[in-house]
Amino acid sequence: MINLELYNEFNSELEDKWLAIENDFLKNPFNSFYWIFHWYNTVGINSLKLKPQIVLLYNDNILSYILPFCVIERKGIKVLEWIGDIQSDYCSPIVINNFIDNQNDFEKIWHKILLKLEKFDVINLNRQPIQIDFGIKNPFVIYLKNKAHDISYQLNINNTWEEFSNEKKKKKILYDSNRQKRRINEKGIIKFLIPESNTKNKEIIKEMIKFKRTRYKLMKVTDLLSSQHSRNFYLGLNSALEKGILKLHLSALLINDKIVATHLGTILNENFYYLMPSNDFNDWKKYSVGRLLLEELLKISFEQNFKVFDFSIGDESYKKNWCNQKTELYQHIKPINFKGIIYVLFLKMKNILIKSNFWKKIKFFRK
């Protein structure tokens, strides 16, 4: 027998049920309760005015799925999405008991879920991996009509750093990195830092935000950190995650004690997630300081016996130099009414403009 519980707010009851299953079943860092709760309190409720629509699905009174949905009003159109927006690179259900194993059962349950939710105009489930864990497929990809929309890269760690770094392609990159270090040593002392105090954590995050915003401006693209709410999300992330199993990882590269590159990422289940790299693009770009920091993080991941170094969403060319796996991310989009049709057409036009220089000139579409 299928039962559904709908939560349209975060409360202690939802928190207790969610946290009770995280140790065994949390496979996606962006589905951590504390990540989502902090995001909701900083970005979701302030910038997006969203309404949580979190569904707990029970099979024979056993909690089997947590579905972290929300309804967001975009351009006057109500959109059903996975919660997390652009701060979440992977979106999926939390699967506790994978009992849905055929199209017919999924469609019946999905219909029942949709009737439970607040009214909306369009469904837009994006950034969905097909694989949730070994042997567990994402039912929202395999049983709904999806198209490949984004991509991410991973390094599955199956040897030592010495063996990995001696591969022909890596050897060439690391040779150039050593050359860059020699150039930097002529100017000062290089230091790799993993902070141990909240004060230093905040300093690194502030520098990350500053470097990112400078880079957005130079590239003439949308500043994803222009909102104070988005900045507050990252500034408060360390405190927000302290009690949970998802851990924040901050690091920096310093030259003469000045921060020239930073990284903000997370660690979950012996997987390292490379999320927000940044560097002083104006003064130190030609010395490849971002790559030097990345190499330190890769080396640490080998030394600490992590299973995966996940470069997360994005098709940047440098990722291909290090990775041995590519993951496609899928989108399911379906209009429910005429307003939904308008929204889907809007997204198609937006995607066309993104591929052209004209995109950069139209502020409306960049929102």
Same domain, 8 and 143: yes
Give the pLDDT confidence score for residue 119 in this predicted structure: 95
Query: Do 220 and 287 sit in the same domain of this protein?
Result: yes
Helix (H, G, I), strand (E, B) or coil at 194: coil
Rounded Cα distance, 148 and 140, in Å: 13
Task: Specify if 324 maps to a domain.
Answer: no
Q: Which residues contact 317 (CB under 8 A, 6 or more apart)?
A: none
Cβ–Cβ under 8 Å, residues 323 and 154 = yes
Q: Which CATH number fits the domain that encloses residue 243?
A: 3.40.630.30
Q: Is 267 part of a structural domain of the chain?
A: yes
Handedness of CA 97, 103, 108, 110 (dihedral sign): positive
The answer to whether residues 53 and 78 belong to one domain is yes
User: Which residues, in sequence order, are CB contacts of 27 under 8 Å at separation 6+?
Assistant: 94, 95, 132, 133, 268, 269
> Cα–Cα distances in Å, from 190 out to 181, 223, 262, 364?
8, 30, 13, 43
Are residues 49 and 71 located together in one domain of the fold?
Answer: yes
Strands 94-95 and 131-133: unpaired
The closest of 184, 207, 173, 118 to 299, measured between CA atoms, is: 173
Q: Are residues 184 and 274 in the same domain?
A: yes
Same domain, 42 and 7: yes
259 shares its domain with 361: no
Q: Express the helix, strand and coil content of the chain in percent, nearest 5 each.
A: 45, 30, 25
Indicate whether 165 and 265 sit together in one domain.
yes
Task: Give 68's strand partners.
Answer: 54
**Quick one: tokens of 204?**
């690194």
Residues 17 and 105 occupy one common structural domain: yes
The angle subtended at Cα 343 by Cα 341 and Cα 348, nearest 5°, is 95
If DSSP codes are grouped into helix, strand and coil, which group holds residue 336? coil
**Alpha-carbon dihedral sign for residues 288, 289, 295, 299:** positive
Has residue 183 been placed in a domain? yes
Q: Are strands 77-82 and 122-129 parallel, antiparallel or unpaired?
A: parallel
CA-wise closest residue to 171 among 322, 323, 326? 322
Residues 72 and 104 in one domain: yes
Beta carbons within 8 Å of 214's beta carbon, 6+ residues apart: 281, 282
Quick check: is 323 in a domain? no
Q: What is the pLDDT of residue 48?
A: 87
DSSP 3-state of 193: strand
* Residues 94 and 216 occupy one common structural domain: no
Owning domain of residue 62: 2-150+329-366
**Domain-located, residue 321:** no
pLDDT at 364: 39
139 lies in the same domain as 168? no
How do the pLDDT tens digits run along the chain, 367 residues long? 999 999 999 999 999 999 999 999 999 999 999 999 999 999 999 888 899 999 999 999 999 999 999 999 998 999 999 999 999 999 999 999 999 989 999 999 999 999 999 999 999 999 999 999 888 999 999 999 999 999 999 999 999 999 999 998 899 999 999 999 999 999 889 999 999 888 889 999 999 999 999 999 988 888 999 999 999 999 999 999 999 999 999 999 999 999 999 999 999 999 999 999 999 988 888 899 999 999 999 999 999 999 999 999 999 999 999 999 999 999 999 999 999 999 999 888 877 776 665 544 444 333 3
Whether residue 319 lies inside any domain: the answer is no
In a domain, 269, yes or no: yes
Q: Total structural domains in the chain?
A: 2
Residue 128, domain member (yes or no)? yes
pTM of the entire structure? 0.93
